[in-house]
Structure 1
Amino acid sequence: MKTKESKSTIVFAVLGGALFLWLGISYTINTLMQGESRVCTVTSAEHIQDYNAGAPTASVEVETSDCGKIIITKMKYPDGVNMAKLAEVLNAHQGEKFEFILKYIQFDADRPGAYGVSSLEPVQ
């Protein structure tokens, strides 16, 4: 006869496994596919380096007047440009529009994630 503790352990293990599987699938999809592109007017960009989690991580937080905050955590576009350079370029073109390449799966619609911009030149 199973005890109450063993049933709750099984439920916890199944839910944990499902969450782990969902995160793995979404990471794989976002790695292989890109989402829609969105043209937004840049008001500011900040290059952020975080050393609190052990390994250093970098991101660019972009404030836009028409799309809200966009977070770039894993940059694919444009190829060969690092996060610091992207933040520098975006700040040099405040008030201008850029085309952001969004991630395929978004976890926070108010702060969409992006892979970068389609070009270092503003959209005309």
Structure 2
Amino acid sequence: MHSIQFLPQEVFTDVTSGEKKEIDLLAQCRFEQQDTCFLIHVENQSYTETAFAKRMFKYFARLYEKYDCAIYPVVIFSFDEPKRAESTNHSVRFPDLNVLDFNFKEPIPLIIFVLQSLSLLRTANDKLRLSSTFYGKK
């Protein structure tokens, strides 16, 4: 296996509302010369959403259940308004117990460039694969 393999987009259905959500980018990664893999889940958030951190946790939980490996969640907040820091944490707490403390990263500009480049590479690979299929090449 290559050190980075793009996986098909996952579609999750909210069991209470029936709304379908599709994750933006999912890549399976492997450290050099190691058998263990981890996932990088990249989500581009183009609008402000009150319960976004909770949605990221739901994605994480479903991916973790399906793939049973470490997942590194990353969000690119790409909206202009409102200009404020967005929450990168979803937690469930009681006065005497911290049940859940889920966090995700907002990447630094260099990582954004790399992630966007990987996304473009994936798009180019998908188009190449489609054109090869169309022309009968493998």
Do these two structures clear the TM 0.5 threshold for a shared fold by scoring above it?
A: no
Higher strand proportion: 1
TM-score by length of 1: 0.23
TM-score by length of 2: 0.22
Q: Which of the pair has more CA radius of gyration? A: 1
Give the structure, 1 or 2, with the largest relative contact order (CA under 8 Å, sep 6 or more): 1
